[in-house]
Amino acid sequence: MEKFFSFPEQLLAYLQCPSCKKGKFIIVAGNEPGLLCQSCKSCFPLIEARYVTKDIFLTPSFHKQINSKGLKKSNYLKDGSEILLTSKKPGYSLSAEVVHEIVKEELPNQGLILDSGCGNQGFKYKINNPRIIGTEYQYYENAFYPINILENSENTAFKNETFDFIISNFVLQSIYNQQLYVNELARILKKNGKIVLSTPSPRWYLAYFLSPSSHVKFLKDVIKNPFYFIASPIKFFLKSHAHNYRELPEELKSSNTLRAEIRQSKKEYYEGLFSKAGLRISKMESSGNVFSLNTRYSFLGKLFKNRRLKKGIHYTYVLKK
Ligand SMILES: [Zn+2]
């Protein structure tokens, strides 16, 4: 793959300070390199000359994460270009494959692409497109390509109307303030740009309940908090099976229960978020079935010939500005 986004020079043109929302950055070299806002003088660290970090509540945790693990320099080519960090192929679930098909159908031939919440950069690997900028709030050790920016997706460092196309695959449900996130995607999308955004449907929670990993997690939670479980078993069960926000700090999880999550996975809820952000739905596909959640038993899901089911466990929206 051609070298495209190596931080910071090439990315700098697309960025503005997320604190004051207007300042341009300059690069500060030295022992602790960073991006300095020329307007409000906020400074954001650059790590391995690749990451800008900005996060309201997670900055200390991912700093710790990065510092304790360190970035393996040997994984990068000498010229710093982006290379595969592992030869392992991405384990795509059936539903992610459907999202991938829709992305391929909608992807423009040119322009800048954002994979918001890119995880291990699986889309960049699958689509094999150097125009993808991948952002995450946490560092993935076994990413296929280095993540370009670590930041808070509710308040990104991108200028208005930067992207022609945005992928947001199964990210929305993990975001603390979902309206802020959708507004932010709309802000950084160009006019006539498109967003492919996938989310869980209420049926996804049934699939999660059928998945062995949800029960393993529940047992672990019981062992960790036996007294809470004994005092209030139903409340505890609902909280443990609430899958989303699980990566948020403890203090922000208190209001999160399974019931609230299922309520927030309905079409009406999503459609409200999109219309408030000024986005139109140009297409919606429902995909996957209760067996297609986990790659381990996705062979069961594949028994169903039509993967784009009317009542699936995922909704994939194509949104326009
Ligand atoms: Zn600033």
Q: Tell me, what's the pLDDT at 300?
A: 63
Q: Tell me, what's the pLDDT at 78?
A: 32
| Separation of CA 25 and ligand 1 centre (Å) | 8
| Separation of CA 76 and ligand 1 centre (Å) | 31
| Separation of CA 36 and ligand 1 centre (Å) | 8
| Separation of CA 17 and ligand 1 centre (Å) | 5
Helix (H) or strand (E) holding 148, with range, is none
The answer to whether domain 9-201+266-320 has CATH 3.40.50.150 is yes
| Separation of CA 39 and ligand 1 centre (Å) | 5
| Separation of CA 104 and ligand 1 centre (Å) | 36
Handedness of CA 243, 244, 249, 255 (dihedral sign): negative
Q: Tell me, what's the pLDDT at 260?
A: 78
Q: Tell me, what's the pLDDT at 275?
A: 98
Separation CA 100–CA 120 (nearest Å): 15
Q: How many helices (H) and strands (E) does the chain have?
A: 12, 11
| Separation of CA 247 and ligand 1 centre (Å) | 28
State both tokens at 37.
Answer: 């806002």
Q: Tell me, what's the pLDDT at 181?
A: 94
Bridging pattern class, strands 34-37 and 43-47:
antiparallel
- CB-CB contact of 150 with 138 (8 Å): yes
* Residue that is written with structure tokens 């208005």 in the block: 160
| Separation of CA 177 and ligand 1 centre (Å) | 22
pTM: 0.81
Q: What is the DSSP letter of 90?
A: P
| Separation of CA 179 and ligand 1 centre (Å) | 23
Q: Tell me, what's the pLDDT at 141?
A: 61
Domains of the chain by residue range: 9-201+266-320, 203-263
- pLDDT < 50: residue spans in the chain: 1-7, 48-91, 245, 305-306
| Separation of CA 51 and ligand 1 centre (Å) | 17
